[in-house]
Amino acid sequence: MADNILNGLFNSKKNTANRMLVVKEARCPQNHACPSVRVCPAGALTQNGFDAPIVNMDKCIKCGKCVKFCPMRALIFE
Ligand code: SF4
């Protein structure tokens, strides 16, 4: 609970500059096409089958759209 609140506070666009986008595989059910892959404007997310998505930080512009789209909060900035 406190973890979710803190993530919400610190995942805003302005606070991502020094953070890395991290995939929390334990939170991802890995049984569906990841909705966040489709919304990434930079093509920074890929998915093999229904596996948890993979982030390419060389492409990521840290816009945070994927974070908002994942209902499981499996994508977070740390
Ligand atoms: S933060 Fe933006 S650019 Fe980076 S992976 Fe998520 S949607 Fe793509």
List the CATH number of the domain containing 61. 3.30.70.20
pLDDT of residue 14: 57
Could you say which DSSP state residue 35 is in?
H
Cα of 76 vs its chain's centroid, Å: 5
CA 40/CA 4 separation, integer angstroms: 22
What's the CA-to-centroid distance between 46 and ligand 1, angstroms? 11
pLDDT of residue 11: 47
Q: Note the pLDDT tens digit of each residue in 3-39.
A: 544 445 554 555 788 999 999 999 999 999 999 999 9
Count of structural domains, the chain: 1
Choice between 73 and 15, residue whose per-residue pLDDT is larger: 73
Ligand 1 site, residue 64, Cβ cutoff 6 A? yes
Give residue 72's identity as a one-letter amino acid code.
M
Domain assignment of residue 43, given as a range:
2-77
Q: Which two tokens stand for residue 73?
A: 């909060």
Output the residue whose Cα is nearest ligand 1's atom 3.
60
Ligand 1 site, residue 74, Cβ cutoff 6 A? no
Report the run of H or E that residue 2 belongs to, with start and end. Answer: helix 2-10
